[in-house]
Chain A
Amino acid sequence: MIWLNQIVQGVLLGGYYALIACGLSFMFSVMGIINIAHGSLAILAAFALFVLADRFAISPFLGLILVLPAMAAIGWALQRAILERSMRAGLLVPILSTFGLSIVIDNLLFEQFGADTRSLAPYIGSFSYDSWSITDDIDIGQLSALIFATAVVLLGGLQLFLSYTPLGRAIRATAEDPDTVGLVGINARRVNATAAAIAMATVGLAGAALAMRATFDPYAGAPQLIFAFEAAVIGGAGSLWGTLIGGVVLGVAQNIGAQINPQGFFIAGHAIFLAVLFGRLFLGGRGALILNLRRRRA
């Protein structure tokens, strides 16, 4: 039963990974770049919620009403000020510029907030530990369930949005061929900035989830980027739902690893990632690794 519990908890943890991976794979699929500052921006959102809760006594759930639009605005500005220019300069420049940005964000956060680890758990009352007992051994935390449900709704909503709305179609068309969409009256620059704004709003949501269910500090961005990347790669290039599966596989592997050895949590996560990567590279032919809108039919 202890194993079953680890698997259940792993699935729930996977909901968080899907949430953080969602923006990464969405952005990659539209613009073909991986934003190295992804994790740092999630931590930035977490600190914003922390400040609202700590100094202004605004509940983190209400705080999201302020923070999510702010993150979307940051995404828009990020695209216009940094990514657009980087993408024009070549394939490697976006990696370098967003890496530089992540160093700036991490250290500014450190300068402002110091090395203390923080959590939003104290600001959401008993919700952080309330749970439903399924059996004697298995409890499902209400917060974990909410995060998982959020991930499902977000991924499903994004999938529907891409499939059935004019803007979603414009985003897919831009992903397919950013030069040609101009001919049919789509402003590729605006579409890309909108996509970046949507991606950053999901990053804000992921930051909130992390901050409520666990602790964070100014340098916590790097591991979040790695988890997001691993979940996105495990999820594969098929559809946004793959991201959810990727997150769940990662979360379950980590929890099983932790059950085997106290150090096993992270090792098992990286190991499952490398195993999937190995399979993808050597057994499955050379396809796209991460979500690829171009090949998906809606």
Chain B
Amino acid sequence: MSQGRAIRVERWTGLSIGSVAFALALIGALAAGPLLFDANAIDKLTTLFIYIILAVTWNALAGYGGLVSIGQQAFFGLGAYGAVRLANAGISVYPALVLAALLVGVLALPISAFMLRLKGGEFAIGMWVVAALAHLLVNLDTLVRGETGTSLIALNAYGAETRHALTYWTALGGMVALIGVLFALLRSPLGAAIQAIRDNEDAAAAVGVRVMRTKRIIFVLAAIGVALAGALWLATTITFQPKTYFSVQWTAYMIFMVLVGGLGTFEGPILGAILFFAIEAWFGATGVWYLVGLGGAALLFALFLPKGLWGWVDNRLGLRLLPVGRWLRIDEGETRS
């Protein structure tokens, strides 16, 4: 490059400022949802918010942190179990959902000390072992009564309509908070550190990135998000059967949403969650074939389009609606950093 040219680091574009403003307006409109929509629509949207939480947090872990976990159902189940336990101890139900998620985050700290020392496939299956063990230990609790399960009876304190609305608002609030925290985190120096570790751990350590601490932050945040999703799922279905909550299917859903939407892109997982939500509505009734399709799609995307649909769009059009990266602009030419 010649010296006369101006180089600037671009973080916002007109389009991305517009899209963030649009997103904020959309959130504002969604917040009024229970006043506008019927109970069915509210339930559907709550489910969508939970899917988005799952997709966004799994992507934070795998797409940005390079940590592919097949055991996130551990935190999903523990979040729901924690909510049952806290509600049973007399804590008001909706604060209990959030508190359970935070407690799972605390529990994720010692787990991270173990698991983050594993690499690649070892970490992936190691987390699966953690999930299997968590499932077995929760089954030992007499309150849960083994695979029979239990219910979040405390929800009966609310009328059906209030309950739907409160769950909706908790899900919306949780989703917005998690996306907001991740957005801020990935735009901060920590975001660059996380991606540096994903791309080359040794090189990142060599330039002064505190590898363990950085990985731990993203691991705990992902655990809190998934646990909140589990607790919210409990609030929508009321019954807690360990087998359903500790099922590896949850992780299969997360992987599908993120791979199809776009691994390692910020907008992709949200798109993936919306697609998954639509696909489930259309094909969910076909049962087994639907699951075969999800697995097959994950396989094909991993092989042929590893950056997913959003990565493809980003490549073609350079469309960045929620920018977390930095782009160097030199005259007309553009290089991504």
A contacts, CB < 8 Å to B? 28, 33-34, 36, 82, 85-86, 89-97, 99-104, 106-108, 110-111, 222-223, 225-226, 229-230, 233, 263, 266-267, 270-271, 273-274, 277-278, 281, 286, 289-290
Contacts and interface: CB of A to CB of B under 8 A. Distances in A.
Contact of A34 (B122, B295, B302): B122
Contacts of A93: 302-303, 306
B284 interface: no
A85 B124 CA distance: 20
Interface of A is mostly: helix
A263 B135 CA distance: 12
B122 to A, nearest CB: 6
Contacts of B291: 103, 107
Given A96-B259, A97-B303, A91 B120 contact: yes
A100 B120 contact: no
Contact of B288 (A89, A101, A107, A267): A107
A187 B70 CA distance: 34
A100 to B, nearest CB: 3
Given A100-B299, A263-B139, A286 B292 contact: no
B63 to A, nearest CB: 9
A34 B132 contact: no
B295 A107 contact: yes
B121 A33 contact: yes
Interface string B273-303: 0000000000000001101101111111011
Contact of B129 (A28, A90, A100, A274): A274
A108 B292 contact: yes
A94 B303 CA distance: 9
B129 A273 contact: yes
Contacts of A270: 129, 132-133, 136
B125 A225 contact: yes
Contacts of B122: 34, 233, 289-290
Tell me the interface secondary structure of chain B in the complex: helix
Nearest to A233: B122
A278 B118 CA distance: 11
B114 interface: yes
Contacts of A267: 133, 136-137
Contacts of B309: none
B200 to A, nearest CB: 11
Nearest to A289: B122
A82 B296 CA distance: 12
Contacts, number: 123
Contacts of A85: 303
Nearest to B115: A277
Contact of B292 (A33, A107, A225): A107
Nearest to A225: B125
A94 B252 CA distance: 15
Given A96-B298, A100-B296, A274-B129, A34 B303 contact: no
A95 B298 contact: no
Nearest to A28: B121
A93 B122 CA distance: 14
Given A100-B297, A281-B114, 6 more contacts: A34-B124, A36-B70, A89-B306, A99-B255, A99-B295, A103-B298
B248 A86 contact: no
Interface in B252-279: 252, 255, 259
Contacts of A108: 292
B212 to A, nearest CB: 12
21 contacts: A34-B124, A36-B70, A85-B303, A90-B306, A92-B62, A93-B306, A95-B124, A96-B68, A100-B299, A103-B294, A103-B295, A103-B298, A104-B296, A106-B295, A222-B248, A226-B132, A229-B129, A267-B137, A270-B133, A271-B133, A281-B117
B140 interface: yes
Contacts of B302: 86, 89, 93, 96-97, 100
A223 to B, nearest CB: 8
B129 A263 contact: no
Given A222-B248, A263-B139, A270-B129, A101 B66 contact: no
A273 B255 CA distance: 26
Contacts of A290: 122
Please name the 9 residue pairs, one residue from A and one from B, whose CB atoms are nearest each other, closest first: A103-B295, A34-B121, A100-B299, A100-B298, A104-B295, A96-B302, A97-B302, A270-B133, A107-B291
A95 B68 contact: yes
A108 B128 CA distance: 22
B126 interface: yes
Contacts of A82: 299, 303
A103 B290 CA distance: 11
Contacts of B299: 82, 97, 100-101, 104
B125 A36 contact: yes
Nearest to B123: A95
Contacts of A263: 136, 139-140
A111 B292 contact: yes
A86 B121 CA distance: 13
